[in-house]
Amino acid sequence: MQLAFYGAARTVTGSQYLLSTDYGRILIDCGMFQGSGHMRQQNRMDFHFDPAGIDYMLLTHAHIDHSGLLPRLVAEGFSGKIFTTEPTADLCEIMLLDSAHIQEEDAEYDLRKWQKHRRVGPPPQPLYTTADVQPTLDLMRPVAYDEVLQVAPGLRVRFRDAGHILGSAIIELWVGEGDEQTKIVFSGDVGRSDQPLLRDPADLEDADYLLTESTYGNRLHVSADEHEAEFARIVENTIRRRGHLIIPAFAVGRTQDVLYELNLLAGQGRIRHVPVYLDSPLAIKATQIVRSHRDCFDAEALALLAKGDKPTDFAGLHFTQSVAESKAINTIQGPFIVISASGMCTAGRIRHHLRNHLPHKDDTVLLIGFQAAGTLGRLLQDGVKDVKLFGEWYPVAAQVRTLSGFSAHADLRQLLDWVANIKGIKSVFVTHGEEDTALDFTATLHRKLGLSSYAPEAQFIADLDTEDAFGASREEAEEIWQRPPSEAELAL
């Protein structure tokens, strides 16, 4: 049995793992690489296998860095079943269509450049198109949380709640029959405990092999109380200045978290007469899908509902669907709040709002998600004085604030607690973290929990039938364990 790491290896995007067994070949996640041009280039490289030769696909959650290459996989011959939770399938419909639109637009832009520049090389093609999305959705087979599903003889899976975004799952996979079973756990993205709306990540009992994400594997979040208080302060200070609060947010997850916090403030009468605009068609659709899945809510959200308080809705909240409605926001007198996409300010309506509000000192731009290097969001976070939008320069006079408490990922303490519960682990593979973070977490896992841990590089193949799954990389693993502890580890 072999496990190959084709993405999210010492980086945070492109999740893709292939497990080859005597009972079939299973692909776990098929994510897009995101970030710099060099990263994105990897989306166009040939798959490391023949997509038609894959028997089953397991999908942990709908985020594009886990699901975004599925339409390409299907277009290139994969025709097996895609097992995932029902909310993930619902979210994939809007996310993959949105992604396909972006691919088509980018290809059109590249084609115009290609025509202008003497047509060197073949004409640019989209990575995939909207026509590739429906055949992908048709292969999806919804699986309920916590139910053991016999996929094929010798292959059983169970999806457990990951508490990361709606529908997200940690996947348990049993390979073999009778006494000869090996259990492999794929963490997907592990959610933060006490996140609004969603349940905490499920505690797992055991595993032979564990793949765990490490996005925040060397950082600690502020407490939920501190976070709530800081958010309220930023909102109220902006209102007091009669300014405008502009929040760039990812459509799925972060947007609903912000609505949840604003609903609490609305309930306390702290944002009275301040309209809130959700100004992103994708985020509006995502919010509607989240609202339709009360079965995924945690006890707190259900308690609000039982009192008649909808957790992501309140008086003064407006969905602005059309471009005309979006533009009309700027004619409003007095303070208001706008939540818009994209989360890193790289595209979408948020750029129009930034153009209108960055030059005003009484306005606030609140960054709440991870801002990748090279994005407009990151430039703002780093404190640039001017930004270029739509071909013109604008001064940054507005206050730019960052809140990390909206993160949808477990921090070091929560990840360690989650792993510590799992008994019988022979080896841990650390994935889905920037290189330094993944290596730090690998060392922490060894020091704190005595685990045999390793952060594989891309294309690493682990042979799970041998005594040592790290093989020739054993020495490197032991070197990683010698890394000095991260500040977060020292602060535990």
CA distance 217 to 486: 9
CB of 63 to Zn ion, least distance (A): 4
The radius of gyration computed from the CA coordinates of the chain, to the nearest angstrom, equals 23
CB of 283 to Zn ion, least distance (A): 16
CA distance 93 to 77: 20
CB of 31 to Zn ion, least distance (A): 9
Q: Which range in 150-158, 183-191, 342-350, 374-382 contacts Zn ion by CB under 5 A?
A: 183-191
CB of 111 to Zn ion, least distance (A): 31
Q: Which range in 63-71, 240-248, 272-280, 420-428 contacts Zn ion by CB under 5 A?
A: 63-71
Query: Total number of residues binding Zn ion (CB under 5 A)?
Result: 2
DSSP letter string, 366-409? EE-S---TTSHHHHHHTT-SEEEETTEEEE--SEEEE--TT--S
CB of 335 to Zn ion, least distance (A): 33
> Cα separations (Å) of 128 from 8, 14, 75, 82, 93?
21, 16, 8, 18, 15
Q: Which range in 35-43, 189-197, 295-303, 424-432 contacts Zn ion by CB under 5 A?
A: 189-197
CB of 189 to Zn ion, least distance (A): 4
Q: Assess 227 for contact with Zn ion (CB under 5 A).
A: no
Nearest CB to Zn ion, comparing residues 59 and 464: 59
CA distance 134 to 127: 16
Strand locations in 179-250 (E): 182-186, 209-213, 244-248
CB of 171 to Zn ion, least distance (A): 14
Nearest CB to Zn ion, comparing residues 189 and 200: 189
421 DSSP β-pair partners: none
Q: Assess 189 for contact with Zn ion (CB under 5 A).
A: yes
Q: Assess 401 for contact with Zn ion (CB under 5 A).
A: no
Judge residue 316's burial from the number of C-beta atoms within 10 Å of its C-beta, 0-12 exposed, 13-18 middle, 19 or more buried: middle
CB of 368 to Zn ion, least distance (A): 15
Q: Which range in 60-68, 207-215, 231-239, 325-333 contacts Zn ion by CB under 5 A?
A: 60-68
DSSP letter string, 238-301? HHHTT-EEEEE--TTTHHHHHHHHHHHHHHTTTTTT--EEE--HHHHHHHHHHHT-GGGB-HHH
Q: Assess 63 for contact with Zn ion (CB under 5 A).
A: yes
* Residue span 71-110 as binding mask against Zn ion, x where in contact by CB under 5 A, dash where not: ----------------------------------------
Contact indicator for 242, 335 with CB cutoff of 8 Å: yes
Judge residue 385's burial from the number of C-beta atoms within 10 Å of its C-beta, 0-12 exposed, 13-18 middle, 19 or more buried: exposed
Contact indicator for 149, 56 with CB cutoff of 8 Å: no
Nearest CB to Zn ion, comparing residues 126 and 167: 167
Nearest CB to Zn ion, comparing residues 63 and 349: 63
Closest to 487 (Cα-Cα) out of 288, 217, 117: 217
Pairing of strands 2-7, 461-463: antiparallel
CA distance 38 to 54: 27
CA distance 84 to 67: 11
Closest to 203 (Cα-Cα) out of 215, 191, 220: 191
Q: Which range in 140-148, 185-193, 282-290, 296-304 contacts Zn ion by CB under 5 A?
A: 185-193
CB of 406 to Zn ion, least distance (A): 14
Contact indicator for 184, 220 with CB cutoff of 8 Å: no
Nearest CB to Zn ion, comparing residues 31 and 126: 31
Q: Which range in 2-10, 57-65, 137-145, 178-186 contacts Zn ion by CB under 5 A?
A: 57-65
Q: Assess 254 for contact with Zn ion (CB under 5 A).
A: no
CB of 253 to Zn ion, least distance (A): 8
Nearest CB to Zn ion, comparing residues 189 and 279: 189
Nearest CB to Zn ion, comparing residues 287 and 399: 287
Nearest CB to Zn ion, comparing residues 170 and 246: 170
Q: Which range in 32-40, 59-67, 128-136, 232-240 contacts Zn ion by CB under 5 A?
A: 59-67
Q: Which range in 18-26, 188-196, 279-287, 461-469 contacts Zn ion by CB under 5 A?
A: 188-196
Strand locations in 51-168 (E): 56-58, 81-84, 140-142, 148-152, 155-161
CB of 252 to Zn ion, least distance (A): 9
Closest to 102 (Cα-Cα) out of 279, 305, 347: 347
Binding residues for Zn ion (CB under 5 A) = 63, 189
